[in-house]
Structure 1
Amino acid sequence: MIKVVIADDQDLIRGSLRIVLRSEKDIEVVGLAANGAEAIELCKLHEPDVVLMDIHMPELDGIEATRHIMKQHPAARVVMLTTFHDMDYVREALLAGAVGYLLKAMQPEDLAASIRLVNNGETLIPQDIARIMVAEWTSQGMAGKQKKEKEKKPRYGLTERETDVLRLLVSGKDNREIAADLYLSEGTVKNYISTIYSKLEVTDRLHAALKAKEENLLR
């Protein structure tokens, strides 16, 4: 069973999400929280696999609650669930450790599929948000190109080829596309990506891209 905690300050939202998930045989809602502080306590009690976390809540907001949960339960998969379509919130949530970001306007039937996806280790970002993020990173990369050129010393021990793979990964390309662009086999690309994850101390493509941006790794 996939254990889920739902954190939202609106009774109607919490109840509705619980009802939607009740019919799923492989998903169990183990707790409902009205604020971030309650979400932290429920995670201590139940050690859920997935947390559906609203951003704006009283006492402690979802982003700060996510930071606490990631420190105490790093295996938990936090998905931000909100009506806000704001890139600042997206960045803060992901940097806090969230692995997904969903708008409350999503179709109910997509909720269970999304929970299964993140529980299997995937990240979950709506396509339109992902496109905006990539565009921002590209724009910022061009603006900071002169500064980056001065940083000749390799960061995190990445080789030139690993940096090439990381650059294509950040652009949103999958393993097959990276392999085609660099004239490599998909198996070789997978090995490069595993090495990149290890050097950057991340576990997925999204957080590798975030680390690359934050640390100015793409020269």
Structure 2
Amino acid sequence: MKSIKLLIYGGQGGIEEFIEKEEDIKAIGVTGNEMDLLDFNHTSSVMPDVILIDARSSGKYGQEVMPILKVKYPSTPFIIFTAYSEGHYLIEAICHGAAGYVLQDGGMKQVLSAIRQCTSGQIVYPASFKSILMKKLQQDAERSPVTLDKAIEKLGAFSKREYELLILLTQGETNQQISKKLFLSVGTVKNYISRIYRKLNVNNRPELMALLHSLQKNGIRDDYSCPPFH
């Protein structure tokens, strides 16, 4: 069995003890200093498969290291383990590209599950994620002249099928649901989504949603960067 190589950031402590009991997860490093993430010595054989930010005791809930992770480990998924359940913290984590957001109340079982899921390319967020993000999109649409349709139109040239997929993605539909609605195979849906991601220079659905949220809130810009949420 190939072990999942996990890098842990955070000062709460205790997570390593749980990890040691898991046969398929191995902690290759633990640090509470963001500069250590930049200096962490690794080769391709010890490159982390996933990074866990233990932000339960941090007043900064991990936002000081998320930009570092995007630069240092652009293709490595990271998970926020936090006590902060407020929607704007979740939105900010999405904006920075977090692959998972696990609340403290869920306990270590959910953390371990998220580590395995995110390593396999899945996105893990609280059940409230869809309603929180859709509410934000709707609120921004009411305050901004930039409608969701207009934001998608300005993002680039999409085929009719790609546009249909984008709309369904923003509605929170899963790949399986999109497959049924558009009468496409799940594999074809995944291929379309990958093409859309490449066009928009995003890596996953949360980054796509955060991009659309940003455009609705701040208007159409050339850099498509996502601002911090407060």
TM-score of the superposition, structure 2-length normalised?
0.77
1:19 pairs with 6, 17, 20, which one?
A: 17
Q: Equivalents in 1 of 2:87, 2:154: separation in Å?
A: 30
Equivalence map 1:119-198=2 (5 Å) = 119-144=119-144, 146-148=145-147, 154-182=154-182, 184-187=183-186, 188-198=188-198
Q: Equivalents in 2 of 1:139, 1:106: separation in Å?
A: 29
Matched, 1:30 2:28: yes
Q: Equivalents in 2 of 1:116, 1:150: separation in Å?
A: 37
Deviations along 1:100-143, one digit per CA (max 9) or x if unpaired, are 11112213223222101111111111112332122222332344
Share of identical aligned residues, percent?
A: 26
**AA of the residue aligned to 1:102:** V
Name the Cα RMSD after superposition.
2.8
| 1:170 Cα offset (Å) | 1.4
Tell me the residue number matched to 2:226.
Answer: none
Residue 64 of structure 2 aligns to a residue in which SS? Answer: helix
Of stretches 132-141 and 67-76 in structure 1, the one that deviates more from structure 2 is 132-141
Greater helix share, 1 or 2? Answer: 1
Equivalence map 1:21-170=2 (5 Å) = 21-42=19-40, 47-55=47-55, 57=58, 62-144=62-144, 146-148=145-147, 154-170=154-170
Deviations along 1:153-211, one digit per CA (max 9) or x if unpaired, are 642222343222111111111233224434x3235433432221121122322222222
Contact 2:54 2:80 in 1 (8 A): yes
Q: Equivalents in 2 of 1:156, 1:78: separation in Å?
A: 28
Q: Equivalents in 2 of 1:191, 1:152: separation in Å?
A: 19
Q: Equivalents in 1 of 2:91, 2:41: separation in Å?
A: 23
Contact 2:61 2:84 in 1 (8 A): no
Q: Equivalents in 1 of 2:177, 2:79: separation in Å?
A: 28
| 1:215 Cα offset (Å) | 3.0
Aligned residue pair count: 209
**AA of the residue aligned to 1:26:** D
Q: Equivalents in 2 of 1:20, 1:151: separation in Å?
A: 44
Contact 2:6 2:27 in 1 (8 A): yes
Quickly say closer, same or farther: Cα 1:203–1:97, change in 2 above 3 A: closer
Quickly say closer, same or farther: Cα 1:150–1:81, change in 2 above 3 A: closer
Q: Equivalents in 2 of 1:52, 1:6: separation in Å?
A: 5
